[in-house]
Amino acid sequence: MAKSVRRSTPRPYHHGNLASALVDAALLLLDETQDWNFSLREVARRASVSHNAPYKHFPEKRDLLAAVAARGFEALAESTLSSLEGLTDARERLLACGRTFVARGIANPALYRLMFSAVLTSPEAGRPAIEKVAAAKARAIMDKAFADATQSGVFPPSLASPGEGAAATLAMWSILHGLTMLAIDDFVGPPKDIEALVDPILGALLNGISSQPPALPAHIWIAPRL
Amino acid sequence: MAKSVRRSTPRPYHHGNLASALVDAALLLLDETQDWNFSLREVARRASVSHNAPYKHFPEKRDLLAAVAARGFEALAESTLSSLEGLTDARERLLACGRTFVARGIANPALYRLMFSAVLTSPEAGRPAIEKVAAAKARAIMDKAFADATQSGVFPPSLASPGEGAAATLAMWSILHGLTMLAIDDFVGPPKDIEALVDPILGALLNGISSQPPALPAHIWIAPRL
DNA sequence: AGAAAAGAGTTGACAGTGTCAACTTTACTG
DNA sequence: CAGTAAAGTTGACACTGTCAACTCTTTTCT
């Protein structure tokens, strides 16, 4: 803790990099309280800085939370990728995506809730940029798995069209998100058993999609606002 | 506003019934701010009572919110029932349930979010009783529609077994909840178009379920903790 | 009936919050 | 090496949820 200690990363300013230390502290508090109603001041306390220091890095509390959510999406992307390692069957890969998605949510409910919550969304600017790019990264992985599955014949070729493809991925996205939410918000349980349900449930959806793809009413456009 | 005015409902105490007036005010605030971070004091102000009057009816802010959520579930149950009127085809009825479910969520995002949120859940007591019974009422409607569909041959008879039936309804429940959440949290849109996607998406799931019902891993038990 | 108890609402207080403004210290720039 | 901008601090403000003590009204009990 001595000030003379040299770090491998050069610390450009007073603290080193407060910003990421604050995110760390917030991540911890989020896990402890399972709620993002903790005070900015408490976060500052944990980082051993004054109650106003955070404002030099995050204009509002919301911005800190957005940075936390971004971390969550990055972690999700990483886990998903590593869960895909070694799997070659396209359908297997889709199921693996689903399993890690739900598992991560159940492992850290408050973080998951925050990531998909709209507390972050400001009326005029929408979702903060930092979160958008992190979320897009995570989303791209699943979209790719889906596209691969289409190409390798798991789904009918019509799903390669942007419209039908979007509807199908939205369906998958929805069922996973819904299942996770219901589990972490205590509407069904116990959580570990819910995880085991991803395969059969997502499996049923995939079957339904391949036998009769969700037909998009013409002219409808689904905006993936990530 | 004079005190001498006689109401049809006898007002037993000072205000009439503050409790429900508070819920009304909170419902309004919820809709205005799209967030339940409004202050209890503001609710009291709107009901023209002192900042501490609410505590005579709700021990904590959480309890007021629970009452608000309960109202939401009751409204949902009512809408669902009325959307079912005149529909006889079992599959049509299931789709109608889905449509109203999503539509209600999109029509009042903050209320929907509150209803399914875990802010209300206290660590020891779980979800407040008042919300549980209201939610159970709403849930029972969809469960019944599902059971009817099984009985009238939309799904294979194995879905009449408690296990498979539970998994299947959970799948439906999940895809609707997930779709609604993604829509109201601004991950996909525009909302009106998402509503139009309920039929094709839920339809695909129903197809998948009937062609190959989600098989429950033995011994797994899904607790519908409503 | 009247007295006593309970219910409903009020006033005042307390610690704690998010954020603003003004200040000091440090690090980097020309 | 001076000067400026970034990073962090101190103090203040209005506001919050909740507790305790008080008052007024309604109900209940003899």
CATH number, domain at B47?
1.10.10
Residue where one domain finishes, among candidates B27, B58, B89: B58
Q: Do B180 and B99 fall within a single domain?
A: yes
- With CB atoms and an 8 Å threshold, state whether A119 touches B35: yes
DSSP A38: S
Are B74 and B142 in the same domain?
yes
* Same domain for A132 and A54: no
> Which of A119, A176, A182, A187 best tests the B interface by mutation, with the highest count of B CBs <10 A?
A187
CB pairs under 8 A between A and B: 187
Q: Is residue B220 part of a domain?
A: no
Question: Where does the pLDDT of residue A128 fall: very low under 50, low under 70, confident under 90, or very high at 90 and above?
Answer: confident
User: DSSP letter string over chain A?
Assistant: --TTPPPSS---SSSS-HHHHHHHHHHHHHHHHTSS-S-HHHHHHHTTS-TTGGGGT-SSHHHHHHHHHHHHHHHHHHHHHHHHTT---HHHHHHHHHHHHHHHHHHSHHHHHHHH-STT-BTTTBS-HHHHHHHHHHHHHHHHHHHHHHHTTSS-GGGGSHHHHHHHHHHHHHHHHHHHHHHHTTSEE-HHHHHHHHHHHHHHHHHHHHHS--PPPTT---EE--
Whether residues B53 and B84 share a domain: the answer is no
Say if residue A13's pLDDT is above 90: no
pLDDT at residue B83 in the model:
97
Does residue B2 have a pLDDT over 70?
no
Answer whether residue B218 is part of any domain. no
Number of domains in chain B: 2
Q: For residues B125 and B132, what is the distance between their CA atoms, to the nearest angstrom?
A: 12
* pLDDT at res. A59: 95
B52 touches strand D (CB under 7 A): yes
Chain A residues lying within 8 Å of B171, measured CB to CB: 175, 201, 204-205
| Per-residue confidence (pLDDT) for residue A39, from 0 to 100 | 98
pLDDT of A140 over the 80 cut: yes
Same-domain status, B50 and B85: no
Same domain, A175 and A90: yes
Which nucleotide does the CA of A55 lie closest to, via C1'? C19
pLDDT given for residue B4 in this prediction: 36
**Which residue among A6, A33, A58 closes a domain?**
A58
Q: Token pair 């505590």 is at which residue? A: B55
Specify whether B54 is located in the same domain as B73.
no
Assess whether pLDDT exceeds 80 at residue B215: no
B167 in a structural domain? yes
When pLDDT is cut at 50, 70 and 90, the band that residue B94 belongs to is very high
Q: Which of A20-34, A36-50, A124-138, B170-184 has the lowest mean pLDDT?
A: A124-138
More confident residue, B36 or A128: B36
Look at residue A12 and tell me whether its pLDDT is greater than 70: no
Of how many residues is chain A composed? 226
Between residues B157 and A123, the one the model is more confident about = B157
Let me know whether B82 and B123 are in one domain: yes
Q: Percentage of chain B with pLDDT > 70?
A: 89
Give the mean model confidence (pLDDT) for residues A205-223.
83
Q: Report the pLDDT value the prediction gives residue A199, as an integer from 0 to 100.
A: 95
The nucleotide minimizing the C1' distance to residue B41's CA is D16
pLDDT score, position B13 = 54
For the segment A175-203, the average pLDDT, to the nearest whole number, is 93
Say whether pLDDT at A126 is over 60.
Answer: yes
| Residues A79 and A176 placed together within one structural domain of the fold | yes
Q: What pLDDT is stored for residue B220 in this prediction? A: 63
Give dist(CA B9, CA B88) in Å, integer: 39
Q: Is the pLDDT of residue B10 over 50?
A: no
- Per CB-CB distance under 8 Å, the chain B contacts of A116 are 181-182, 185, 187
Average pLDDT, chain B: 88
The reply to whether B224 falls in a domain is no
Q: What is the pLDDT of residue A4?
A: 35
Mean pLDDT lowest for which of A19-33, B4-18, B41-55? B4-18
Percent of chain A with pLDDT over 90: 71
The model's confidence at residue A171, banded by pLDDT at 50, 70 and 90, is very high
Confidence label for A2 from pLDDT (cuts 50, 70 and 90): very low
Residue B5 in any domain: the answer is no
Are B51 and B154 in the same domain? no
Per the CB < 8 A criterion, the answer to whether A97 and A39 are in contact is no
Q: Is residue B6 part of a domain?
A: no
Residues within 8 A of B (CB atoms), A 46-85 only: none
Question: Which CATH number do you get for residue A117?
Answer: 1.10.357.10
Instruction: Assess whether B113 and B205 both reside in one domain.
Output: yes
- Residue B30, pLDDT above cutoff 80: yes
Task: Determine the average pLDDT of the residues in A134-157.
Answer: 93
pLDDT at position B6 over 60: no
Do B86 and B175 belong to one domain? yes
| Cis peptide bond N-terminal to B190, omega within 30 | yes
Express each pLDDT in A45-82 by its tens digit.
999 999 999 999 999 999 999 999 999 999 999 999 99
- Between A66 and B217, the more confident residue is A66
| Residue A223 domain-assigned (yes or no) | no
pLDDT digits (tens, 9 = 90+) for B35-82: 999 999 999 999 999 999 999 999 999 999 999 999 999 999 999 999
> Which domain does B47 fall in, by range?
15-58
A224 within some domain: no
